[in-house]
Amino acid sequence: VRISELAHRTGVPVHTLKYYLREGLLMPGEASSRTRATYDERHVERVRLVRALVEHGGVGIAGVRSILAALDSPPPSRHELLGVAHGILPGGSTGDTDRDVDVDPGVLALLERLGWEADCSPWVAVLADALARARSAGVTLPLDDLEGYARAMRSVAEVDLTVAERARSAEEAMRVVVLGTVLVDPVLLALRRLAQQAESAARPRARR
């Protein structure tokens, strides 16, 4: 199909498609004349993926480029997969993170108590940063609450890993971990709000 049809099918404007082409996020179409190219299903799929990452996953152009590169050449063993996937994921959906943030010793002790050997994980800094930002806006999270949240997110991770283990190839597992993490985040946040309503309705009114 021509680029106008690709735009129609994906809902992405032609000028944005040309931008994706220029930035190397979309592979070139097959030249059908000196000024025209045709596109196929692979292009439709790729455009949808790029769009989801850029618009809904909060991933920048450079991040999309490394995610695409990783999907095109997955690591040789599944063992390294999570490390590679995490290395290319952006710092949560919080945007850039100041890696110099101090980590509360209480938080480190909590992670150790949970058996999370997280010493050298960059996500510890992301976590500390998110906590510091909440605190600067007047929301301080006691360690007991943080522990409750951590245990709940461990259950989320159990589902995440089970999904990744079901994948039939390293390529698919990579795709599941990277996209599943970025694109399932908004699903989890919507579920959190629905669960708040359910939990609120279930609690005795006298306590509210």
Footprint on residues 33-92 left by a copy of itself (CB under 8 A) = 45, 48-49, 51-53, 55-56, 58, 78-79, 81-82, 86, 89, 92
Please pick, from the candidates 21, 37, 101, 183, the single residue that binds a copy of itself as defined by CB under 8 A: 183
Q: Which residues of 33-42 are buried (b: 16+ CB within 10 A; e: fewer)?
A: eeeeeebeee
Q: Which of residues 9-38 bind a copy of itself (CB under 8 A)?
A: none
Q: Number of residues in contact with a copy of itself, rule: CB under 8 A?
A: 88
User: Cα separation of 67 and 177, whole Å?
Assistant: 11
Q: Which residue from 7, 88, 131, 174 is in contact with a copy of itself, where contact means CB under 8 A?
A: 131
Question: Which of 18, 134, 169, 171 touches a copy of itself by CB under 8 A?
Answer: 134
- Opening angle at CA 34, ends 28 and 36, nearest 5: 50
Q: Are 103 and 124 in contact (CB under 8 A)?
A: yes
CA distance 174 to 187: 20
- Give the nearest distance from C-beta 182 to a copy of itself in angstroms: 9
Instruction: Tell me how far apart the 2 most distant CA atoms of the chain are, in Å.
Output: 75
Residue of 37, 108, 130, 143 interacting with a copy of itself (CB under 8 A) = 130
Subset of residues 154 to 173 that bind a copy of itself, contact rule: CB under 8 A: 154-163, 165
Q: What angle do CA 63, 59, 42 make, to 5 degrees?
A: 75
Selected binder of a copy of itself within 21, 65, 104, 185 (CB under 8 A)? 185
Shortest Å, Cβ 15 to a copy of itself: 20
Contact 16, 4 (CB under 8 A): no
Only one of the segments 23-31, 35-43, 98-106, 187-195 lies at the binding site for a copy of itself (rule: CB under 8 A); that segment is 187-195
198 part of the interface to a copy of itself, by CB under 8 A: yes
Tokens of 134: 């909440």
CB of 18 to a copy of itself, least distance (A): 21
d(CA 207, CA 31): 69
